[in-house]
Structure 1
Amino acid sequence: MTDPVDGAEIPETVATYLRLRGLAPSARRTRSRKRRTDTEHEPFTPGRDPRGVGDVLSDLTRSAGWDAQLAREDVVRTWQDVAGAETAAHTHPVSFTDGTLVIQADSTAWAKQLQIMRSQILTEIIRRFPDAGVVSIRFIGPDVPSWKWGPRAVPGRGPRDTYG
């Protein structure tokens, strides 16, 4: 390579050093760079606006397929708002299987009253939580001990067989 000032030949290693340090013009600098057509990584473009944490979590749950499960959890969590404060004081959700939400009541009277109100409650759940997949509601009474089951159960009529 020749020196631009006095036309002397300089070693290639020195020319490379000068070119890398930016002290001498190089052929690489005179070439025009290709412009990238990818605007995704450029600042101030439409897709680069900051996003909120809620939007990011919403995208995550949708892509992971958690929307239905989270909607079912929301039904349980907001049962007081869905059913009303007085009704929620006497009932609570027990399980959710195959589209059926099971609600346990404090008494059989509350369970029967809720069976009458079933369509209203189901409509409210579907309106608020369409992703939950609730198809029907089953209301059950309180858990009471049974004489027919257990380690000391006797086959047959049991304690009633001595009456009369």
Structure 2
Amino acid sequence: MADSRIKSVADLLSSFFDKDLAREGQQFSGFGRAWKAIAGARLGEHSHPADIKHGILIVETEHQGWTQLLQLQQDRILEEIQRRFPDLGIRGIAWRLGNEPKVAAVAATPRIQPAAGPIVPAAENEAEKAREEKAEEKRGLPPDMVATFARIRKNINK
């Protein structure tokens, strides 16, 4: 014996949503699946419909170059959309760059390590320090300044 109080999830969800809104969502979903066929396989791979606002379809592209190529086809694309999906009421198309970079492209970017300074033998390095300290003393620098410059040189050479 079935309990008449038990309702399916579909019935519950449909009671929360307006029937017209649900129909529009289904149309947009179908339109999204048809985008590659409308834009063309090559252009459709690098773009997708993001939203429809006030009769304007907003399409996101991966790069400015794809946007330009799609703009060259804009009249044809708009006519095809209006022919296949007249209920969406699309009157124009706006283009924007997508916000999310491709994960594979980011992961594949090599990290550049800063180049290490030239490897100088310790004896040459010590001799260079001694020459610089003597030169600073000849310039008449105070001993605390000479010590400060020595610490700076030491940190640079690390």
Scaled by the length of structure 2, what TM-score is found? 0.47
Larger Rg: 1
